[in-house]
């Protein structure tokens, strides 16, 4: 059950990334994030159940990790093609696999390890196409932000496994989104008072509502998957990153990005690795 919840979450997450990229044409990074998380908080406000002070502190820390990953990831998306971003983001499960084994004692079977190895090979091969895209300065800046996004995102996933037993999935999701919204509002206020000349005004875009719907559904399925008995964080994180396949298709077919042939081979290899993981985990 947890495996198929993760697959559905991945499909929604890939669609979410495509809409995010398009939304950046009308609004800045922070406006998109605070708009989407604010709407998500409204969707989930009926699930804001009472928590202990320690529970609030744990979810505030979770919100900091998520905010760091989202903000740095969206900034990177402004400086790198979507198809490149999607392949770099797929490296996050490798960190989760390693630390799931170290911290939670998870053990993968031979076929699962082979699936992970194939995905890693696809990621290594994908790096050859990046040097053709954008100038060095822009690529370097985007890469730095992307690395920060990947590391903080991996830490957030591992933290989910650590705290999920003490929360109901929707309560965790609703409180976390509330704290993320407050953090982003604070960042926007600081930016407004320190650099008013370059402060970007908000422009309403219906894509922000769609982003909120997609991320709400994707995260709800994900948290329910993590909560399931026997759920393996190493497998969940790897399968969830198969969302890059949806993102890649969107970048190729909708956004008409270049160097698709090189990346297509990488994506086929990644699909093979994900398929093997699904088979080995049945």
Question: What tokens does 169 get?
Answer: 């999935």
Burial of 165 (0-12, 13-18, 19+ CB in 10 A): exposed
Higher pLDDT, 239 or 208: 208
pTM (global) more than 0.85: no
174 closest CA partner among 62, 41, 36, 55? 41
Contact in structure between 217 and 243 (CB atoms under 8 Å): no
What does the pLDDT average to over 60-71? 91
**What is the C-alpha to C-alpha distance for residues 43 and 147, in angstroms, rounded to an integer?**
31
Q: Are 181 and 38 in contact (CB under 8 A)?
A: yes
Tokens 């398009």, residue?
22
Model confidence pLDDT, tens digit, residues 151-175 = 998 899 899 988 998 899 999 999 9
State the Cα–Cα distance between residues 117 and 90, nearest whole angstrom. Answer: 13
Tens digits of per-residue pLDDT, 224-282?
A: 999 998 888 888 888 887 787 788 788 777 766 666 666 777 778 878 887 887 788 76
At residue 42, the pLDDT reads 95
């Amino acid at each position: 059950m947890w495996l198929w919840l993760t697959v559905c979450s991945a499909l929604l997450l890939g669609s979410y990334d495509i809409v995010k990229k398009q939304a950046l044409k009308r609004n800045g990074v922070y406006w998109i994030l605070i708009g989407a998380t604010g709407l998500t908080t409204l969707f989930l406000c009926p699930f804001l159940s009472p928590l202990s002070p320690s529970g609030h502190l744990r979810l505030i820390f979770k919100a900091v990790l998520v905010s760091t990953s989202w903000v740095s990831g969206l900034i990177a998306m402004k400086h790198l093609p979507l198809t490149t971003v999607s392949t770099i983001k797929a490296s996050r499960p490798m960190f989760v696999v390693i630390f799931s084994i170290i911290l939670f004692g998870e053990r993968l079977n031979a076929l699962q390890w082979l699936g992970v190895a194939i995905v890693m090979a696809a990621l290594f091969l994908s790096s050859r196409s990046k040097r053709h895209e954008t100038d060095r300065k822009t690529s370097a800046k985007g890469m730095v932000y992307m690395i920060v996004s990947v590391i903080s995102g991996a830490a957030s996933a591992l933290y989910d496994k650590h705290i999920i037993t003490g929360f109901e999935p929707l309560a965790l999701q609703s409180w976390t989104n509330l704290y993320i919204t407050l953090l982003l509002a604070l960042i926007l206020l600081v930016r407004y008072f320190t650099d008013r000349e370059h402060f970007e005004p908000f422009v309403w875009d219906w894509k922000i509502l769609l982003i909120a719907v997609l991320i709400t559904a994707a995260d709800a399925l994900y948290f329910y998957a993590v909560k399931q008995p026997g759920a393996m964080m190493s497998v969940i994180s790897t399968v969830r990153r198969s969302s890059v396949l949806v993102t890649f298709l969107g970048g190729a077919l909708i956004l008409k990005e270049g160097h698709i042939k090189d990346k297509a081979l990488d994506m086929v290899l990644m699909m093979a690795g994900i398929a093997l993981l699904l088979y080995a985990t049945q």
